[in-house]
C-alpha cells in the first residue's frame, strides 16, 4: 500500500507531456494492429474471391493468415506480450493451449481415422 | 509504457487510477480464466464442425449456403468494432473527456448490433434455402458453432448497454472502470474467435 502511494505520487509528478507521448504510442499500437489485421483479412478473402490458385495452396494461405492474425490480435489488441512479470498468466494461457491441442487434435485424429476405416463417405 | 508495473495480462489502467487499478488485478485475471475456458468450448465446436464437413446427408453444403460478400461485411464490422473499443479503452486509461469515451463505446455498440443484424439476415437466408439445423450433421455443427459466437456478441452488446447506463448513473467509478476493462477483453476475444470462423467455416467452405 505504502509502495503504491509513493509510485502514484511520482506519476503525478511526471509531466503531462510524457502522458501524451505514451498515449500517442499506444494509439499507434492499435493503428498498427488494425492495419496488420486488415491486410491479413484482405489477403485470404481476395485469394478466394479473385485468385485462381489450387485448393491446397489456398488452404495453406488461409491457415497461415489466420494464425498470424490471431497473433496480431493478441499482441496489439489484447496486449499479450512475451515480457510479463506474472508467471501464472503465462501458465494459464499455455495450459489452455495444451488442453486444446490434446482435445482438438485427439478428436480430429480419432474421428478421421474412424471415417477412413469405416465410413469413407464422410471424408471431405 | 513499460515504466508502470503490470498487474494482469492486457491493457493496465496504471497507478493514476488508484483503487480501480488495484481492484482490477483479481477481476481481470478471473475474467481471463473464464475466457480461456470459453476458448476450449469454441475449440471443440470447431473440431466437431470439421469432423462433420462430410456429413451433408444430401442436403445443401457450404457452396450452396455461404456467401463470401456477407462473410466479408461481418468480418469488417467486427474488426472495426475491435479497433473502436481499443480507442475507448485508451480514452478510459488516459482519462479523456467522458464524451470521447462514450462516443467510442456507442460506435462500438452500433457496429456490434450491425454485425448481429447481418448475421441474423444470413441465417434467415440459409433457412429459406433449406439450411436448417435439423437437415444434416454438417448443419447441426454449423448452427452449434456460429450462432454461439453470435450469442456471445449479443451478450457483449447487452453488457455494453448496461455499462453505458452505469456511466450515466454512477459516473466512472471503480466497478464501471473494471467492468469496461473486462468487456474489452471479451470483445477482442470474440474477434479472435471470428478469425477462426471466417477462415475455417466461410473461406474454407467456399474455396
Output the pLDDT for position A15. Answer: 65
- B15 neighbourhood in chain A, CB within 8 Å: 4, 7-8, 11
> B195 with A44: CB under 8 angstroms?
no
Provide the phi-psi class of A81: left if phi over 0, else alpha when psi is between -120 and 50, else beta: beta
Q: What average pLDDT score do residues B104-125 get?
A: 97
Please tell me if residue A8 touches chain B, with a CB cutoff of 8 Å. Answer: yes
Angstrom distance (rounded) from CA A103 to CA A97:
10
Instruction: State whether residue B67 sits within 8 Å of chain A by CB.
Output: no
Residue A76 burial (10 A CB sphere; 0-12, 13-18, 19+): buried
Chain B residues with beta carbon closer than 8 angstroms to that of A35: none
Q: Which pLDDT belongs to residue A12?
A: 53
What phi and psi, each to the nearest 5 degrees, are found at residue A51?
-70, 160
* Confidence band for A21, pLDDT divided at 50, 70 and 90: confident
Q: How far is A116 from chain B (nearest CA, A)?
A: 12
How far is it, in rounded angstroms, from Cα B127 to Cα B107? 30
B79 and chain A in contact, CB less than 8 A = yes
The pLDDT, as a whole number, for residue A98 is 95
User: Which residue is it, cell 470521447?
Assistant: B100
Q: Which of A81, A74, A108 is closest to B39 using CA atoms? A: A74
- pLDDT tens column, B197-206: 999 999 999 9
Confidence check: pLDDT of B7 > 90: no
ipTM score of the complex? 0.88
Of A12, A74, A108, which has the smallest distance from its Cβ to B50's Cβ? A108
Q: pLDDT band for position A68 (50/70/90)? A: very high
The shortest CB-CB distance from A104 to any of B44, B83, B189 is to B44
- The band of A7, judged by pLDDT with boundaries at 50, 70 and 90, is very low
Answer with the residue of higher pLDDT: B105 or A91. Answer: B105
- Pair B194, A37: CB distance under 8 Å: no
CB contact under 8 A, A77 and B188: yes
Lowest mean pLDDT among A6-20, B65-79, B186-200: A6-20
CA angle A70, B152, B72 (to 5 degrees): 55
Task: With beta carbons under 8 A apart, name residues in chain A contacting B40.
Answer: 96, 99-100, 103
Helix ranges restricted to H, A2-84? 2-13, 16-50, 55-72
How close A124 gets to chain B, by Cα (Å)?
Answer: 5
Indicate whether B67 pLDDT > 70: yes
Mean pLDDT of the region B111-120: 97
Report pLDDT digits (tens) over B36-62: 999 999 999 999 999 999 989 899 999
Out of B39, B68, B82, closest to residue A77 by CB: B82
The answer for B 31-50 residues in CB contact with A (under 8 A) is 32-33, 36-37, 39-40, 43-44, 46-48, 50
What's this model's pTM, rounded to 2 decimal places?
0.88
Percent of chain B with pLDDT over 70: 97
Of the pLDDT bands very low, low, confident and very high (cuts 50, 70, 90), residue B34 is very high
Tell me the per-residue pLDDT of A78-91, one tens digit each, with 9 for 90 and over.
887 766 555 667 78
Size of interface A-B (CB pairs under 8 A): 146
CB B44 to CB A34 under 8 A? no
Confidence grade of residue B1 (pLDDT, cut at 50, 70, 90): very low
pLDDT for the residue numbered B193: 96
CA-based nearest distance A118→chain B, Å: 14
Amino acid at each position: 500500500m505504502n509502495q503504491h502511494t509513493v509510485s502514484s505520487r511520482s506519476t503525478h509528478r511526471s509531466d503531462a507531456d510524457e502522458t501524451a507521448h505514451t498515449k500517442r504510442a499506444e494509439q499507434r499500437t492499435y493503428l498498427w494492429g488494425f492495419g496488420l489485421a486488415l491486410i491479413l483479412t484482405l489477403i485470404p478473402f481476395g485469394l478466394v474471391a479473385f485468385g485462381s490458385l489450387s485448393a491446397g495452396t489456398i488452404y495453406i494461405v488461409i491457415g497461415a493468415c489466420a494464425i498470424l492474425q490471431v497473433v496480431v490480435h493478441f499482441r496489439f489488441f489484447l496486449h499479450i506480450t512475451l515480457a510479463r512479470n506474472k508467471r501464472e498468466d503465462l501458465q494459464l494461457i499455455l495450459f489452455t493451449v495444451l488442453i486444446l491441442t490434446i482435445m482438438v487434435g485427439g478428436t480430429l485424429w480419432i474421428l478421421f481415422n474412424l471415417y477412413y476405416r469405416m465410413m469413407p463417405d464422410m471424408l471431405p | 509504457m513499460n515504466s508502470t508495473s503490470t498487474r494482469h495480462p492486457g491493457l493496465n489502467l496504471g497507478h493514476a487510477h488508484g483503487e480501480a487499478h488495484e481492484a482490477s488485478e483479481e477481476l481481470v485475471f478471473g475474467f481471463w480464466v473464464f475466457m480461456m475456458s470459453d476458448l476450449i468450448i469454441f475449440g471443440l465446436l470447431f473440431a466437431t464442425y470439421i469432423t462433420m464437413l462430410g456429413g451433408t446427408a444430401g442436403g445443401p453444403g457450404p457452396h450452396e449456403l455461404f456467401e463470401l460478400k456477407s462473410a466479408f461485411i461481418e468480418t469488417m464490422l467486427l474488426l472495426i468494432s475491435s479497433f473502436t473499443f481499443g480507442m475507448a479503452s485508451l480514452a478510459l486509461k488516459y482519462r479523456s473527456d467522458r464524451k470521447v469515451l462514450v462516443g467510442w463505446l456507442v460506435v462500438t455498440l452500433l457496429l456490434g448490433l450491425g454485425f448481429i443484424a447481418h448475421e441474423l439476415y444470413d441465417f434467415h437466408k440459409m433457412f429459406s434455402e433449406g439450411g436448417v439445423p435439423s437437415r444434416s450433421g454438417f448443419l447441426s455443427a454449423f448452427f452449434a458453432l456460429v450462432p454461439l459466437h453470435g450469442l456471445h456478441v449479443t451478450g457483449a452488446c447487452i453488457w455494453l448497454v448496461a455499462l453505458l447506463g452505469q456511466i450515466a448513473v454512477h459516473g466512472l467509478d471503480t466497478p464501471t472502470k473494471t467492468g469496461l476493462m473486462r468487456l474489452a477483453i471479451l470483445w477482442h476475444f470474440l474477434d479472435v474467435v471470428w478469425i477462426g470462423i471466417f477462415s475455417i467455416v466461410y473461406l474454407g467452405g467456399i474455396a
